[in-house]
Chain A
Amino acid sequence: MSDGQDGLTFETVLEAPPEKVWRALTIPEYRDLWLKKPDDVQLQVVAANANSLLTFRWLERNEESLVTIELYPAEDGGTSFRLTHAPVRIPAAANSNEPAATVMRAA
């Protein structure tokens, strides 16, 4: 895993071929089993390229981010799996001007 200002990246190898991983990602009955999406998150598929690339918008209250999953065939019939989660819109903290922050620290 790595992270920075561009978001988070997770890489692993799955013991199943890309075609099967693709079904687990895209068939709702399977997807719900592993994704266990929080109730206040809405998903919108942005791009889908069978067995290799899935991108969806992740909308949570006033935040927006983008999840990209890339699949590559790996040795032994497995799949190299790479998930990137990048923020698109994160509101700054409210009232982040200095006097307020000072008051809060003093309190």
Chain B
Amino acid sequence: MNEAELFKVLADPTRRAILERLSGEEMTATDLREGFAISQPAMSQHLAVLRGAGLVAERREGRYAHYRIAPDGFAPLHQWLARYRDFWPSRIDSLRDVLKEMDQ
């Protein structure tokens, strides 16, 4: 997946829940599945999508794969949010000015 689209990846509630569980610690796929009513292939599929989008990193240790959050993967999202968090307040201020100058 080259053109992974972050928001489509993040739109899935299971994937969001996986990211939440990984936020504090590294986990194996088996640990991760605990409490989720999904099959192992489904979990693998979700992890593959998250890895493809660069949001989760994998570390192999013997037969076990450990998963953790890949902070760099969230950068485009954070940059987008930061850009428009600054953009709109100044535009809304300008809208107030325009409203003052307009005819009734």
Question: A residues within 8 Å of B by Cβ?
Answer: 1, 3, 5, 7-8, 10, 12, 14-16, 20-21, 23-25, 30, 33-36, 63, 65, 81, 83, 85, 87-93, 96-98, 101
Query: Shortest Cβ distance from B98 into chain A, in angstroms?
Result: 5
Summarize B's interface: helix, strand, loop or mixed: helix
Give the bracket for the number of chain B residues in contact with chain A: 35 or more
| Assembled-state Cα–Cα distance A30/B99 (Å) | 9
A/B interface sample: 29 pairs, CB < 8 A? A8-B81, A8-B84, A10-B88, A14-B95, A14-B96, A14-B99, A16-B102, A20-B99, A21-B95, A21-B99, A24-B98, A24-B99, A24-B102, A30-B102, A34-B94, A34-B95, A63-B80, A81-B92, A90-B7, A91-B6, A92-B3, A92-B4, A92-B5, A92-B53, A92-B76, A96-B54, A96-B73, A98-B70, A101-B72
Q: Which of B8, B57, B91, B98 has the most CB of A within 10 A?
A: B98
